Amino acid sequence: MRVLQTLSCAALGLMLIVGGIGAARADRPKTGGSYSETASSRTGTGGGTTVAADPKLTTPPQCVTPTQDAAGEGRRAFMRMNCYSCHGMGGHGGAMGPSLVGEADETAEAVTQGEGEGMPSFKNNLCPNDLANLTAYLRLLGTGSEPTFVNWWEAHPSR
């Protein structure tokens, strides 16, 4: 155990010596200059120009062919649209959003219209079956039969 601690400390020390803390990066001016000047040298502008957003980030996701498993597709939509970041991984409430257990019937309006100042509208991010699938998934929350994991980034992970 003591040997492992010594090796860990030695490795950390070596990283600090070789890399340095806050060492000058190759892409930063070494003497003087500002962030704007550095950005201008890369873009060829005088600053104040915003790079265009990646179109893949502003368009709805590619919708997949519906399957027989509406609840599984609903869980996939729940993950894809980042619902879990506010409502928790299982929809039982999170840091910002309330529990969705027993709230399946109120989902469609909240998702498409938003809720006051707390929840934004997701209508531009929805695939045609997302609302029905989300409702099917939310109906199962708290019953013990809800899907707990799906590879939301794959169209049909089990096939």
Please provide the size of the chain in residues. 159
pTM greater than the 0.75 cutoff: no
State the total domains in the chain.
1
Identify the domain containing residue 128 by its residue range. Answer: 67-140
Residue 158 lies in a domain: no
Residue 10 lies in a domain: no
Residue 52 lies in a domain: no
Backbone angles phi, psi at 115, to 5 degrees: -130, 95
Give me the pLDDT at residue 134, please: 92
Residue 112 lies in a domain: yes
What average pLDDT is seen over the chain?
69
Residue 40 lies in a domain: no
Residue 15 lies in a domain: no
CATH of the domain at 122: 1.10.760.10
Q: Tell me the pLDDT tens digit for each residue of 101-133.
A: 998 888 888 999 988 888 888 888 888 888 999
Residue 33 lies in a domain: no
CB 155 within 8 A of CB 64: yes
